Chains A and B, each alone.
Chain A
Amino acid sequence: MKKDFLLIKLLMKFKGVFKNASVNFDDLVTILSLKLTLDNRKASAMGAGKKQKLTGMKANLLMQGFFGFFIGMIMFVPFDLFYKISIITAMDLFFMVLFMISDFSSVLLDTRDKDIILTKPVGLETMNASRLIHVIYYMISLFLALNVISIVILTIQFGPMIVLGFAIMLVLLSLFIVFVTTILYSILLERFSGEKLKDIINVFQIALSVITMISYQLVGRIFEFVNFELVIHIKWWTYLLPPAWYASMFKVLVEGDFTRAYLIMAALSIVVPVAAGSALIKWILPRYESYLSKLQIEDGVFVPKNSLKEKFKTFIYNLIASDHKERAFIKFADANLSRDRKLKLMILPNQALGYVFPLIMILPFLGRSGGIEGALAGMNGSLMYLNAYWALVMFISNFEFLQYSEKFEASFIYDSFPIEDKRVIFSGAIKAYYIKYMLPGMLLINVFFLILCGWTSLVGLLIIDVMSFFMLLLRYKMTALELPFSKEISSAGNKNPAPVFGLMGLCALIAGAQFLFVKNNILIGLLVLVVMIIMTQLAYVTFFKRPVKCDSN
């Protein structure tokens, strides 16, 4: 293992700090260089990774840097310093917490360390310290990537005190986030155990990544509506907002504004991280390992429910699959799609994007024609519902994720079981995916556009519905896919971009054709609908039922 990591070199300078602490400095360095080596390995083993894991840390930083550039541009607007810093801190907080949850949970929730390191003569304090430093190191990189441009611009505007302010904020903010997230995890760990705990953490992660993905899409549009006239009103709840604390700190530090409210909040910016840190060290860290061990304990027995939902599912499966093998694979795919946490973490945020995309596309029209009501009236009878194709593209391109699984090695069963025609695995997976993810999505979007565009859109929407299944079949044939759940999840979001663009082009063509030739003409619409149903049926039979000489999959 190499020890020439920047972090290690920096740490060497602070050797003296650890002299009297219960932390063993040599062990600390050994463990940290191991961790950094492991992080690097992940990246090189998988090629250019994306965000989500530490793997693509550089890619991640690049993306945050791009966002930082965007925030930096806002700094040119002549707001009060208080607002500028609030905006920056709010963004920082959001991205850093997200990063902690999605990328760093693997560090905070690693149970391997315990088995390997704690059985060696290494103190618990040393290991926890190495964990914290590991996390904080990445926090600092993230902070710099996000803020470097803002720092430059603000320094030009307000002078060099800004740099000092950011230096202080960097320390306080990253401590604040690390402590708060760790405390949050500990509360979860204390309350739940085993699989349930993992599920809850998963929900937590998914919710957060959904929020970011949506905000990525929305953030550019929000500023169109924002009213730039801002006056500072400090209310009682302002004191509860961490961004306001740090903004106040800048007011005091840079502008020398000693208003009482600013002083109080600036004090909070220091007191809260320190208090959280002491709470963490005093009460939580000593028990953290025993919390972690709860991840490995399973309590309670899983009893299969014979609920209405299950009965309904069985009914649907019997309806759509005549062959018992295919039915088995539908159930198999459905179970995997509902249980595999990493898979869910990949699919669900993108699924959410599918819901949001059509909305984003019609937003500009809402703003334009004078007031919401006028806009809604304008929508009625329009062909705006064709925006549902956006959702289609998102939903269908997610199908690709079906190849992946947390436990991809288990796919040996495809070979060890007597399956003559492996296409049945795919047809089962396609149906399960359609029922689980696309059908609810399409229903929701149908209802939405029916309300927005009125009954005239019904036939058009039905065409889109049939199209959704047809396109899913096309997607299956578009590029060679691995068998479902048989590929390792390397870095989340490793979607192949080519089919996505292909789908987009295709959808644009189809939507265009529908726009030009079908419109809201019921007769032509019904004709197209019938033709599409027949085409879909044909495609299905060709892909899955026609005998093949050599197995294509």
Chain B
Amino acid sequence: MDAVIKMDAVIKMTNLKMRYSEKADYVLKGIDLEIMPGQIIGYIGPNGAGKSTTVKIMLGMIQSYEGDVEIFGENIKQNAVLYKQRIGYVPEVAVIYDSLSGYEYLIFIGELYKLDLDLVVYKAKKMFELFGIKEALYNRISSYSKGMKQKLLIISSLIHDPDILFFDEPISGLDANSVMVFKEMIKLLSEQGKTIFYSSHIMEVVEKISDRIIVLNGGVIVADGNFEMLKEKSKEGSLQDIFNQLTGFNEHEVIAKSLVDTINLDAVHERDALEPMTQQEV
């Protein structure tokens, strides 16, 4: 950490807090984070830890947060629009205007980014071809498979050559070959100095690609560092094990056993015998 202090952080969060309504609990309970250019950040945490909320705040989709967020050195509350020119985003759920064709969608995106449209057309064609879905470019998005939609989202997040990328489960639905292409691609992009913010539940991938891993649990950061550092600290073998330890989860065997027992039940009265065991899952 001390080696990078001199560089300017591309993303900086100070005491970031967020709750969805006055009455609700905080989803984020004070996040402090600095991210340097060229890093691939694995952003992980159990469901409901606040990962998507953090990303949505950085994208300006949520404005009602407390604390400060600076991107490219500018506070995104004051300069809410321009920084988006240099970021790309692949959302977890594929929200898309799917009565458009892939081509039209990319043109639309290109216009919002104020790009040269000839360039957009060239990039769109080329990237569709490279991703192996060339023939789908002029079809309605509603006819795309899950993997094709995901590829379109990836392309649309990159078409303006952004400096920060937010990927939320970007490879879901992609075939194994495309996953390899994608992983290699983001490695090359990060070598160019682009920052990649990668949140996922697939630990094997996060472990392999990330320079730095941030573990979020219950709205706070519980671990931050590269894989070796995390491993040293927690004396566990894989990121999966570290993750389990950090999030205080070590009962997967017990719960799995209970699940199978429940699946195998033939009649309700047998349940009484299982009751004490299933209580642990909370």
Contacts and interface: CB of A to CB of B under 8 A. Distances in A.
Interface of A: 1, 26-27, 30-31, 34, 37-38, 41-42, 45, 112, 114-124, 193, 289-290, 293-294, 297, 299
B104 A290 contact: no
Given A30-B112, A114-B61, A116-B97, A124 B107 contact: no
Cβ-closest 3 pairs across A and B: A41-B99, A121-B84, A120-B112
Contacts of B85: 121
B108 interface: yes
Given A1-B108, A26-B111, A42-B99, 17 more contacts: A30-B111, A31-B112, A41-B99, A45-B99, A112-B95, A114-B61, A116-B95, A117-B112, A118-B59, A119-B59, A119-B61, A119-B87, A120-B113, A121-B81, A121-B85, A299-B21, A299-B24
Interface in B1-57: 20-21, 24
Contacts of A41: 99-100
B114 interface: yes
A256 to B, nearest CB: 50
Contacts of B111: 26-27, 30
A1 B61 contact: no
Contacts of B112: 27, 30-31, 117, 120-122
B82 interface: yes
Contacts of B99: 38, 41-42, 45
Of the four ranges (under 10, 10 to 19, 20 to 34, 35 or more), the interface on chain B belongs to: 20 to 34
The SS class assigned to the A binding surface is helix
Contacts of B109: 120
B95 A121 contact: no
A34 B64 CA distance: 29
Contacts of A37: 100, 104
Contacts of A30: 108, 111-112
Contacts of B80: 123-124
Interface in B98-139: 99-100, 104, 107-109, 111-114
6 contacts: A31-B112, A34-B97, A112-B96, A119-B60, A290-B64, A297-B21
B62 A290 contact: yes
A33 B97 CA distance: 13
A99 B85 CA distance: 37
Nearest to A30: B111
B63 interface: yes
B63 to A, nearest CB: 6
Contacts of B89: 119
Given A26-B114, A120-B84, A115 B95 contact: yes
A106 to B, nearest CB: 13
Contacts of A120: 84, 109, 112-113
B91 interface: yes
Contacts of B114: 26, 121
Contact of B107 (A1, A31, A38, A299): A1
Contacts of B81: 121-123
A124 B89 CA distance: 18
Contacts of B95: 112, 115-116
A35 to B, nearest CB: 9
Given A37-B100, A41-B99, A119-B89, A293 B62 contact: yes
Nearest to B24: A299
A297 B108 CA distance: 29
A30 B80 CA distance: 20
A123 B99 CA distance: 24
A30 B107 CA distance: 10
Contacts of A27: 111-112
Given A34-B97, A45-B99, A118 B60 contact: yes
B91 A115 contact: yes
A296 to B, nearest CB: 10
A59 B111 CA distance: 32
